[in-house]
Amino acid sequence: MAGLTESPAWLALRQHAQELQGRSIASLFEVEPERVQRCSAEAVGLYLDYSKQRIDARGLQLLLALARQQGLQDWTARLFAGEAVNSTEHRAAYHMALRAPREARFQVAGHDVMADVHGVLDRMYAFAAQVRGGAWRGATGEPISDVVNIGIGGSDLGPRMVCRALDEVADGPRVHFVANVDGAQLTAVLHGLEPATTLFIVTSKTFTTQETMANAQAARRWSSALLGEHAIGKHFVAVSTNRAEVEKFGIDAANMFGFWDWVGGRYSLWSAVGLVSILALGPERFGRLLAGAHAMDEHFRSAPPEQNLPVLLGLLNAWNTNFLGARTQVIAPYAQDLEYFVAWLQQLEMESNGKGVDRAGHSVDYATTPAVWGDVGTNSQHAFFQMLHQGPTVQPVDFILPLRASHPLQDQQRMLAANCLAQSAALMRGKTAAQVRAELQAKGLAGAALEEAIPHRVFTGNRPSNTILLPQLDPYSLGALLALYEHRTFVQSVVWNINAFDQWGVELGKQLAQSVLAAMGGDGGGDLDSSTRALLGRVRDAAA
């Protein structure tokens, strides 16, 4: 049976990409005056302009045909029906249920999960009300002033990003995050905190995650050193499903907030993993975050493909990756409060779609997810934008811009917006040698000096980008933005015929770490390669 790269839709797109090789993005605007109107879409308050992509109307229709060929509509229906779309683990991927209203119907294996979801949510809201209102007291009778979330991966990146993005409206206790097993992070967070007024949230589905439990035990020792062992129940709560391990740690099961096997780590910020976000923001704002995500879920499920924001973003990324040869995807949020957005998205996309086999386990002969990277504007303009403009490799960019700022410095907001729009225009337009010559001649440069200077100032342009506008960075818009990228990731997985919801690639390193740790203690190590054994020897010598 012919593979994906020999399928009719794929071959048609490959041929069309060759036909467009001599066409610039700027020339597409010249032949299509209404291009911006055609190449834009809007939903849930978010506006997408993809007119600066190197694709024409025919190319978009071919991409939509690829989506039909790959069964995107059917896979989307299966996703929302709670079927086991995570085939290797035989699980649903049902994070949409976590942000659905109480009266919605979401079923897994015939069981309506909404009562379970809102039961946990109600408990989280009640707990948050106690902590935020001062009713929850520590062992010495003092209210909680600081909350430390201990997790890793999705148990850290999602809530950390949300709390940072919405810090301007946070009105609860101060929140801090510890993920790295490097003790420097925990030490820095604990510095200046008081055990009597600090609450720890230990987030681990199994309550056995190596890095998380190492940090949790160190935090436990720090807390009990002053307050005593009896105080642990007042200063630690758990987000987990392993009641036995939680109670063994010293946490009352009444203060354990659970979730389900159909909640993947990188999709978990909407679940009990978001407890720290509720403590910081309050139930009303967290509810608005859920509402924005739910609205994007409904748009993704019901909007026609040609006006469907996640579908368009996913297909355009596949176009750039598989037919135009892009190997990375740059994310440039023009909002300082989104400084952790890229890190969250890196896990979402690269852990989901960083696969080399299809759903049947066959090796693929096409690129899957590009490397995702970036930083906030305007910082990024003074770091890596030189490469984006003049490097030999084209790197597509997603620009993200909230239109209204939460701060009063409106002149700086206008400057920020101007830079965002100018960068996308410059990437598309570039600057020719003739334009550079005219500019330098106007400044009085001539002769050999002029000719030597020109090549260094030429910009090839024709570098694609999307621009996503948000009304403002509030809980509702943030929820919609995050769900947009979640569904974009799913669309890409369908195009590439891969399972977006497992992550076996993270397991081998964990397994080998156990062997190395055992060898550090003098137990075994014979299964390690000679390089690792030599490096281990140096580590031992340094610790001696």
Q: What is the pLDDT of residues 496-507, one digit of tens each?
A: 999 999 998 887
Asked whether the predicted pLDDT for residue 155 surpasses 90, the reply is yes
Q: 148 φ, ψ to 5°?
A: -115, 120
Asked whether the predicted pLDDT for residue 525 surpasses 80, the reply is no
If you ran DSSP here, which 8-state letter would residue 321 be given?
A: I
CB atoms within 10 A of CB 343: 16
In which order are the strands placed within the sheet that holds 146-150? 174-178, 146-150, 198-203, 236-239, 256-257
What is the average per-residue pLDDT within 107-119? 95
Q: Per the residue annotation, which of 90, 191, 382, 456 is the catalytic one?
A: 382
Q: What is the pLDDT of residue 2?
A: 66
Please give the Cα distance from 247 to 345 (Å, whole number): 34
Please give the Cα distance from 401 to 421 (Å, whole number): 9
The SS3 call for residue 431 is strand
Q: Per the residue annotation, which of 351, 389, 486, 487 is the catalytic one?
A: 351
For the chain, how many helices (H) and strands (E)? 24, 13
The SS3 call for residue 194 is coil
Please give the Cα distance from 400 to 49 (Å, whole number): 11
Q: Are strands 40-43 and 46-49 parallel, antiparallel or unpaired?
A: antiparallel
* Residue 308, CB-side half-sphere exposure with 13 Å CA sphere: 24
Please give the Cα distance from 33 to 29 (Å, whole number): 6
Instruction: Say whether 456 is catalytic.
Output: no
What is the average per-residue pLDDT within 145-174? 97
The SS3 call for residue 217 is helix
Q: From residue 161, give the alpha-carbon distance in Å to each of 43, 96, 337, 395.
A: 23, 19, 9, 24
Instruction: Say whether 382 is catalytic.
Output: yes
Residue 40's region, left for phi above 0, alpha for psi from -120 to 50, else beta, is beta
What are the structure tokens assigned to 225, written together?
């050193």
Q: Which of 57-71, 168-182, 284-298, 503-517 has the lowest average pLDDT?
A: 503-517
What is the average per-residue pLDDT within 432-439? 96
Q: Please answer whether residues 219 and 211 qualify as being in contact, where contact means their C-beta atoms are separated by less than 8 angstroms.
A: no
Please give the Cα distance from 277 to 118 (Å, whole number): 16
What is the average per-residue pLDDT within 228-244? 96
- In this structure, the chain runs to a length of 544
Where are the chain's structural domains?
4-82+288-429+463-502, 113-281, 505-543
If you ran DSSP here, which 8-state letter would residue 332 be given?
A: E
Q: What is the pLDDT of residues 36-77, one digit of tens each?
A: 999 999 999 999 999 999 999 999 999 999 999 999 999 999
Asked whether the predicted pLDDT for residue 518 surpasses 90, the reply is no
CB atoms within 10 A of CB 439: 13
Q: From residue 228, give the alpha-carbon distance in Å to each of 139, 141, 188, 464.
A: 9, 14, 22, 59
Q: What is the pLDDT of residue 543?
A: 79
Q: Which residues pair with 329 in a beta bridge?
A: 372
Name which residue leads in pLDDT, 2 or 431. 431
Q: Do domains 4-82+288-429+463-502 and 113-281 have the same CATH topology?
A: yes
CATH superfamily assigned to domain 4-82+288-429+463-502? Glucose-6-phosphate isomerase like protein; domain 1 (3.40.50.10490)
Asked whether the predicted pLDDT for residue 239 surpasses 70, the reply is yes
Listed in sequence order, the DSSP H helices in 134-250 are 154-165, 183-190, 210-227, 232-235, 243-249
Give the distance, in angstroms, between the CA of residue 131 and the centroid of all CA atoms in the same chain.
29
CB atoms within 10 A of CB 366: 16
Q: From residue 87, give the alpha-carbon distance in Å to each of 16, 72, 84, 500, 508.
A: 34, 16, 6, 10, 20
CATH 3.40.50.10490 fits 113-281, yes or no: yes
Q: What is the pLDDT of residues 70-111, one digit of tens each?
A: 999 999 999 999 999 999 999 999 999 999 999 999 999 899
Going by pLDDT thresholds of 50, 70 and 90, the confidence category of residue 1 is: very low
The SS3 call for residue 86 is strand
Instruction: Say whether 234 is catalytic.
Output: no
Burial 462-478 (b: 16+ CB within 10 A, else e): bbbbbbbbbeebbbbbb
Q: What is the pLDDT of residue 516?
A: 87
**Minimal CA–CA distance to 132: which of 276, 288, 251?**
276
Q: Per the residue annotation, which of 248, 362, 407, 510 is the catalytic one?
A: 510
If you ran DSSP here, which 8-state letter would residue 364 be given?
A: P
What is the average per-residue pLDDT within 327-347? 98
Q: Please answer whether residues 50 and 40 qualify as being in contact, where contact means their C-beta atoms are separated by less than 8 angstroms.
A: yes
The DSSP H or E segment spanning 148 is strand 146-150
Name which residue leads in pLDDT, 303 or 22. 303
Q: 504 φ, ψ to 5°?
A: -65, -20
For 307-376, list the strands marked E by DSSP: 328-333, 371-374
Question: Average model confidence (pLDDT) for the chain?
Answer: 95
Please give the Cα distance from 430 to 538 (Å, whole number): 51
